[in-house]
Structure 1
Amino acid sequence: MKSLIDIYKESPETSGFTDKQLKIFQAAITLFAQKGYKDTSTKEIAQVAGVSEGSLFKRFNNKEELLLSILKPLSRVILPEIITEFSESTLKSDYPTLYDFINIILRNRLEFFKDNMDVIRIFVDEFIYDENIRAEMIAEIPYEYMKNINDSFDKLKSRGLLVDWNNVEIFRFIFSTIFGYVAQHYFLFQSPNWDEKEEISHLVTFLVSGLTPKNTAE
């Protein structure tokens, strides 16, 4: 998967940034993650970036446009790429068990989330609490990528590796479990005093146990 920097460089909202605009963008990410979007002013962003407030408005009409320039590439590129990788990995049938599949994909995604936690925190905060932002983010997700996740689940079901539940329910089960882990350790408490390796192993085991058909479960 591309790095966030590469994604932002290629995004129409953020491509061609000057050094000054890049400082504004990075300051906004830092402050939105620390204080929240609503509690951050454009004046504060400009101060942290070391530029005038007028410099901010030369590229962004308002604070919301700056926020969307951070969030839209996540919906348009990052989530679709996650889903594409999820789909392609499944359809290749390289994994002999559901455990192998979930273990590799989950660990890879958690590493990405950890490396880009500030931007992910902003995305989660706004997606949960702002209905208008949530609608805009969902609208940015290409339809064909959402279809891929259904194809992935159907392929696993045909191989007898996945429970025969509604695909939306399966996706919700996986997402809510992973999000609960990320929220506890990185959003709510951010405590370094936990056995990360052991908890991730438990996370994978829990998902596999819940999603394995009863007649094939060990």
Structure 2
Amino acid sequence: MQNLILDLYANVPETKNLTTKQLMILSAAIELFAKKGYANTSTSEIAAYAGVSEGSIFRRFKNKRQLLKFILDPLVKLILPDKLLQFSAETLNRNYLNLDSFVRTIIMNRIKFIKDNLIVLKIFLNEILYSSQLRQDVLNGLPKQFINGFNNQLNSLKSRQQIIDWPNREIFRFLFSTLFGYALDHYVLFPQNLWNENEEIDRLITYIVNGLSPQI
């Protein structure tokens, strides 16, 4: 698990000068914050999980809040924007025949990303609910290539009367807030619940497509 976590942070400048012990602390904090929540995790637990002394945390990260900041800042300012550029290249440079194919591609791509990076994103999803600054940082970090690609796709669908004629910002908010709610419900708030993933993803896509289809 440690290697999977640290791979995500491999190209982050802040981690370049971390010692092996400090990387173990970072990995332990991510795992415990994701599993127990930030508020319910102590620095002594992080130290024990990493196999280091508690003083090792304070020498580099000062306190638990600074450790959380060390996890979230690179995620919001570097990792997520980079992943959105990759997302743009994979999904926003295609020609979509209709709204269903567009929404289905977007949702399946983003759910795969969430599942592949769930342990870090659980911390992000928990914190973004309560931090207006974090939400603003996410919006500020949206790459122009992503925004332009998304707008181009929506404008193309509108020109062919495949999608409702709302402002693009509202369509974006509807689509991604619905996806956010789905991810929060299934992967953060109630991960222990039994559910049929394929069926629920199909319902999610149907719900979004119905909500964004042109009114007749």
- TM-score grouping bracket, smaller chain normalisation: 0.7 to 0.9
Contact 1:157 1:163 in 2 (8 A): yes
Q: Give the corresponding residue for 1:92.
A: 94
Does structure 1 conserve the Cα–Cα contact (< 8 Å) formed by 2:5 and 2:120? no
The residue aligned with 2:9 is 8
Residue matched to 1:104: 105
In the TM superposition, what is the alpha-carbon distance from 1:69 to its structure 2 partner? 2.0
Q: CA deviation at 1:112?
A: 1.9
Instruction: Measure the CA separation in 1 of the matches of 2:64 and 2:38.
Output: 9
Match of 2:147 in 1: 147
Task: State the shift of 1:200 in Å.
Answer: 0.8
State the partner residue of 1:119.
120
Match of 1:171 in 2: 172
Note the 1:2-151 alignment, pairs <5 A.
5-85=6-86, 87-88=88-89, 89-93=91-95, 95-139=96-140, 141-142=141-142, 144-145=144-145, 147-148=147-148, 149-151=150-152
Unmatched 5+ stretches in structure 2:
none
CA distance in 1, matches of 2:162, 2:64: 47
AA in 2 matched with 1:36: G
Tell me the TM-score normalised to structure 1 length.
0.82
* Aligned positions, number: 211
Inter-partner Cα distance in structure 2 for 1:86 and 1:142? 12
More moved, 169-178 vs 184-193: 184-193
Matched residues in 1 for 2:138 and 2:69: separation? 9
For structure 1, the 5+ residue unaligned runs are none
CA RMSD across the alignment: 2.5
Once the two structures are superposed, the pairs formed by residues 187-202 of structure 1 within 5 Å of their partners are 187-191=188-192, 193-202=194-203
8 Å CA contact 2:33, 2:41 repeated in 1 = yes
Equivalent position amino acid for 1:185 in 2: H
